[in-house]
Amino acid sequence: MLSGDFSTGTVKPLFLEMTKDQLNEEAFNKLLDWLSPEREVAAETYNRIQIRLIRIFSANGCGDPETLTNETFDRILSKIDWLTENYVGDPLRYFCTVARNIIKEDYRERVATRAVPPVNPVDEDKESELQYQCLDECMEKLSRHGQRLLISYYEEQGNKKIVNRRKLAGELGITLTALRLRVFHMRTQLKICIEICLHNRVAHETL
């Protein structure tokens, strides 16, 4: 988890261990400046983007959403100088574009190594935007407890992830296996909801 003083703000980026590239202080500060000139707002935006990316990777059947979220930030940081000078628009949209490419790569890798057809990644920008909208809509249909549980389940990394999930199971009074099954069922419901939402929206646009 990121530590350190954000100077003018009190909110700190949460959830994920910083990767090697992200530990470059200069690049990371440029990233925060790109997200917002106000450091506290930038940190809050950073947190929201992390949560959004975890949701996106999870909904697309990716096995390790938090690692892919780190990979997304790595790629953004590798281009941060170019982005700060040339990119115009909401940074979240660029993050989602990078995430979509990673989803495609992850899909191809899983097909090649496991020969199991997971959720098909979205190919077109318009369809991808619809998917993100449906993801938010379907997350809102979960109870507040369900939303917090799903997000909390994918917090932390490595050994901290295991400790965090055991803590969650203990708080719920269930076994770790039962927790995994509960989250699996929630992800399945979320996937079905998103597929129905996408079908309805696409059908509506073709009328």
What pLDDT, in 10s, does the model give residues 136-193? 888 888 888 888 888 888 777 777 888 888 898 899 998 888 888 888 888 878 888 8
> Same domain, yes or no, for 150 and 116?
no
pLDDT for 124 equals: 52
> Same domain, yes or no, for 134 and 87?
no
High-pLDDT (> 90) share of the chain, %: 7
> Same domain, yes or no, for 19 and 76?
yes
Nearest of 10, 130, 11 to residue 59 by alpha carbon: 130
> Same domain, yes or no, for 111 and 148?
no
Q: Which of 121, 139, 154 is the last residue of a domain?
A: 121
- 59 vs 41: CA distance, rounded Å: 27
More confident residue, 206 or 128: 128
**Residue 121 CB neighbours (<10 A):** 20
Angle at the Cα of 21 from the Cα atoms of 16 and 25, rounded to 5 degrees = 90
- 131 vs 59: CA distance, rounded Å: 10
H/E run at residue 159: helix 159-172
Q: Which of 97, 121, 145 is the last residue of a domain?
A: 121
Residue 34 has pLDDT above 90, yes or no: yes
Residue 206 has pLDDT above 80, yes or no: no
- DSSP for 65-91 reads HHHHHHHHHHHHHHTHHHHHHH--S-H
> Same domain, yes or no, for 166 and 90?
no
Q: Helix, strand or coil for residue 152?
A: helix
pLDDT (tens digit, 9 = 90+) per residue, 104-121? 888 877 766 654 444 455
Give the chain's domain count: 2
> Same domain, yes or no, for 93 and 113?
yes
> Same domain, yes or no, for 107 and 143?
no
Sign of CA dihedral 163, 157, 12, 2: positive
Q: What is the mean pLDDT of residues 124-134?
A: 71
Q: Which of 121, 140, 157 is the last residue of a domain?
A: 121
> Same domain, yes or no, for 33 and 110?
yes
Instruction: Name the band, by pLDDT with cuts 50, 70 and 90, for residue 1.
Output: very low
> Same domain, yes or no, for 116 and 128?
no
- 97 vs 101: CA distance, rounded Å: 7
pLDDT (tens digit, 9 = 90+) per residue, 64-104? 888 888 889 989 988 998 999 898 889 999 999 999 999 88
pLDDT for 95 equals: 93
Whether 131 and 190 have beta carbons less than 8 Å apart is answered as no
> Same domain, yes or no, for 158 and 114?
no
> Same domain, yes or no, for 92 and 186?
no
> Same domain, yes or no, for 31 and 100?
yes
More confident residue, 32 or 66: 32
Q: What is the mean pLDDT of residues 13-32?
A: 62
pLDDT for 112 equals: 65
Q: Domain of residue 22: give its range.
A: 1-121
